[in-house]
Copies of this chain bind each other. A is one copy, B any other.
């Protein structure tokens, strides 16, 4: 038996397919009684809308492209693991809509740019979600030029206003620095994402301002930019702890680099809380299982991800981007005092 179509319902009810179509989408052109008949028949025959017909006719794809930047299959680093929860959050946010998440894995920025151009020009999706935004992001310009709906996870600086969701990195670093300074720290290291990423810049600038506020000197040796892998955290601890005047606190941009920093502590024989402390930003609530647990700024990744999903839906409905901008403040979770026992 063939799958029923609107034609089936038309024959079943004696109406035309046009009326059936209109009835099913609640057009005001059809009488409530007629609609009831159509709905009844649709349920009776087990009708389900065939998207292919809709897509061809309307040109809409009902796909939301999620661009996921992950390192190539050769490098097996603990990186980008938060994408799993990001994607499921987005997927759930679209659950009650006709939209599906279509996944585009790319290896680097250039590939993401190429993919986006393709999606936009060939209309392979109705909306795009990207992350890893740069201060001046050409991908954003591409999408804006084509008037294509999109939402970014991360802000940009030099682009025209667009829909975004991000953690409030400025505030987070400011509060974090003030708290550490208050606890006696004078040499604070910043393990930062790649410097072309927008949030890397935000964090760095906030860091510098916090130093000024506290009257502390800026030392470039205490700032590192890189891919936020455990290796990155480890190597920077190894290097910085060898300085003649090593840091007593490390601010890590994610849980992966914090884990790596611990590995560096272990290698150098440093004791957390005695020689130095580690603070981090945590999306996955994993820092509580570190030994010892560390102080983190915790933003459950489900929050930004469901917002991203909600925003792309609203953006595709035509809502202006200015109304779809949110900075989320992570919650401070103090798992240790972070005063050095040696300093006291």
Chain A residues within CB distance 8 Å of chain B: 48, 52-53, 55-56, 59, 61, 63, 66, 68, 70, 73-74, 76-78, 80-85, 87-89, 91-92, 100-105, 122, 230-231, 233-234, 256, 259-260, 262-263, 265-266, 284-286, 288-293, 300-302, 305-306
- Across-interface contacts of A105 in B (CB, < 8 A): 87-88, 91-92, 101
**CB nearest to A230 among chain B residues:** B289
Are A73 and B102 touching (Cβ within 8 A)? no
Cα–Cα, bound, A82→B77 (Å): 11
- Across-interface contacts of A122 in B (CB, < 8 A): 48
Are B85 and A82 touching (Cβ within 8 A)? no
A68-B84, A87-B103, A87-B105 known; A266+B291 contact, CB < 8 A:
yes
A100-B102, A302-B76 known; A289+B259 contact, CB < 8 A:
yes
A83 CB, nearest partner CB in chain B, Å:
4
- Across-interface contacts of A290 in B (CB, < 8 A): 263
- Across-interface contacts of A52 in B (CB, < 8 A): 52, 55-56, 59, 61
Cα–Cα, bound, A230→B38 (Å): 53
Are A291 and B263 touching (Cβ within 8 A)? yes
**CB nearest to A300 among chain B residues:** B76
A55-B52, A76-B302, A89-B73 known; A263+B285 contact, CB < 8 A:
no
**CB nearest to A301 among chain B residues:** B76
- Across-interface contacts of A48 in B (CB, < 8 A): 122
Are B101 and A103 touching (Cβ within 8 A)? yes
- Across-interface contacts of A230 in B (CB, < 8 A): 286, 288-289
Are A70 and B55 touching (Cβ within 8 A)? no
Pull 17 A–B residue pairs with CB atoms less than 8 Å apart, ordered by A: A48-B122, A55-B56, A63-B102, A68-B88, A70-B88, A73-B89, A73-B306, A74-B302, A76-B300, A81-B81, A81-B82, A83-B87, A87-B105, A103-B103, A233-B289, A234-B289, A262-B289
Cα–Cα, bound, A20→B210 (Å): 66
Are B91 and A104 touching (Cβ within 8 A)? yes
Are B289 and A263 touching (Cβ within 8 A)? yes
- Across-interface contacts of A100 in B (CB, < 8 A): 102-104
A148 CB, nearest partner CB in chain B, Å:
15
- Across-interface contacts of A285 in B (CB, < 8 A): 76-78
Cα–Cα, bound, A73→B230 (Å): 26
Are A66 and B103 touching (Cβ within 8 A)? yes
- Across-interface contacts of A55 in B (CB, < 8 A): 52, 55-56
Are B234 and A259 touching (Cβ within 8 A)? no
Are B103 and A85 touching (Cβ within 8 A)? no
- Across-interface contacts of A84 in B (CB, < 8 A): 68, 70, 80-84, 87
Partner of A53, one of B56, B233, B256, B302: B56
A159 CB, nearest partner CB in chain B, Å:
26
- Across-interface contacts of A89 in B (CB, < 8 A): 73
